[in-house]
Amino acid sequence: MLMPKKVKHRKWFKGRKRGKGVATRGTTLSFGSYGLKSLGHGWITSRQIEAGRRAMTHYIKRGGKIWIRIFPDKPVTKKGAEVPMGGGKGSPEYFVAVVKPGTVVYEIEGVTEEVGKEAMRLAGHKLPVKTKFLIKE
């Protein structure tokens, strides 16, 4: 699974998921012919990114090339079950990538449009945000 080798701070602030703003970077296809673009805000965990990648790889049967355009660098903390109030912040449990509308999540090259569209559809079902299929103009 994807995770940073090292982070500047072990525990981050949560931030806000208010649904304001669209992505300004990573919004166009840079590597492949087809892509999967996010239509909503959310946190995508490293497990969800890997599940989508595996679904695409399985469908295209090792043909073509896949790029993952997001990286989970934000640590999310969690406290144990039945822990009383107080006692500070919990320990880091997993990493997420913060995604805004317009962010390209995956790109694919070397497959036909039908195969690429179906592979992206399968990957999109693994993600917690609505997605859209892109074709390079």
47-96 tens-digit pLDDT: 999 999 999 999 999 889 999 999 999 999 999 999 999 999 999 999 99
Tell me: pLDDT of 38 over 80: yes
Tell me: pLDDT of 114 over 80: yes
Structural domain boundaries of the chain? 34-78+91-135
Q: What is the pLDDT of residue 16?
A: 81
Q: What is the pLDDT of residue 18?
A: 74
Planar angle of CA 65, 66, 72, nearest 5 degrees: 155
The answer to whether 36 and 124 are in contact (CB under 8 A) is: yes
19-30 tens-digit pLDDT: 678 999 999 999
* Residues sharing a CB contact under 8 Å with residue 90, sequence separation 6 or more, in sequence order: 77, 78, 79, 80, 83
Q: What is the pLDDT of residue 75?
A: 96
What is the rounded CA–CA span in Å between residue 94 and residue 73? Answer: 10
Q: What is the pLDDT of residue 62?
A: 82
High-pLDDT (> 70) share of the chain, %? 99
**Protein fold of 34-78+91-135:** Aldehyde Oxidoreductase; domain 3 (3.90.1170)
